[in-house]
Amino acid sequence: MDLPKHIGIIMDGNGRWAVNRGLKRSEGHKEGGKTLEKIALYAKNIGIKYLSVYAFSTDNFKRSEEEVNYLMDLLIYYFNNKLERVCKDNIKVVFSGRRDNLRKDVMEAMDNIILKTQNNTDCVLNICLNYGGEEEIVDASIKLANDLNQGLVKKEDINRDSFYKYLYQDLPPIDLLIRTGKEKRLSNFMLYQMIYAEIYFSDLYFPDFREKDLDDALKFFEERDRRFGGVKTD
Ligand code: FPP
């Protein structure tokens, strides 16, 4: 099977999943967390090397303080309580996003999981937290400008490939993007890495997304004819 090396997931629909059941939106995030746990393990077990997930966008700070705090507490819970499992499964956790605006206890939990998983080698789980794709390109450009000013990089060495190392994480481009929750937009997610991503939209709300649904997305990916801007030669 032709597997994508890097899968991105926009985990949308947690709130609607909960509201449809007469529950609070936070219950949807809790279920979404359980779903992510299952999907990340499954993806790693079938041989996916990079998984990037959209946990919290820079614009999600516009939500109520109650919802933002609930999400941050949930993230801390996951980082602290699933650490042992993540290590046992040899998954390396990294983060993409701006650290400013984040609560100190969130940053501490992030730093702890980064440190404890840094030598794991089976799969990289990139958690996009306080993340925006435009912000990532702007932040990378600032780092590049600093390196140029200090003579650490030459203008002629700047190109599409070398720019990756200025992004939050030096990851390969996304091969398959999955967006759940019925909407069909990119929502400022990993714009630079998305150049030739195949995009799979699922009508399921994220808490309902299961391993078999990932299989369906992989089947969709396998059937694509990826030309990367060229033409088919065979
Ligand atoms: C989008 O649904 C989802 C989020 C903003 C949060 C995603 C977070 C998790 C799945 C929690 C666990 C994450 C980690 C990394 C352990 P929405 O609230 O926009 O749903 P709606 O569109 O139905 O309102």
For the question of residue 60 being annotated catalytic, the response is yes
Q: What class does CATH assign to 6-132+172-222? A: alpha beta
User: Do 55 and 127 form a contact (C-beta atoms < 8 A)?
Assistant: yes
12 lines ligand 1 (CB under 6 A): yes
Task: Please state the domain extents for the chain.
Answer: 6-132+172-222
Task: Kindly report, residue by residue over 146-167, the tens digit of the pLDDT.
Answer: 999 999 999 999 999 999 999 9
User: From the alpha carbon of 127, which atom of ligand 1 is closest?
Assistant: 15
Here the tokens at position 179 are 């967006």
Residue nearest to atom 6 of ligand 1 (CA): 55
Task: Kindly report, residue by residue over 112-153, the tens digit of the pLDDT.
Answer: 999 999 999 999 999 999 999 999 999 999 999 999 999 999
Give the distance (Å) from ligand 1 centre to CA of residue 2: 29
| CA–CA gap between residue 114 and residue 119 (Å, rounded) | 9
User: From the alpha carbon of 18, which atom of ligand 1 is closest?
Assistant: 23
Task: Kindly report, residue by residue over 163-198, the tens digit of the pLDDT.
Answer: 999 999 999 999 999 999 999 999 999 999 999 999
Q: What is residue 223's DSSP assignment?
A: T
As a whole number of angstroms, the longest Cα–Cα distance in the chain is: 59
Residue with tokens 């720019």: 163
Here the tokens at position 84 are 């042992």
User: Model pTM?
Assistant: 0.96
Integer angstrom CA distances of residue 223 from 4, 186, 198, 211: 12, 22, 10, 19
User: Do 171 and 50 form a contact (C-beta atoms < 8 A)?
Assistant: yes
For the question of residue 157 being annotated catalytic, the response is no
Integer angstrom CA distances of residue 233 from 222, 226, 230: 18, 12, 9
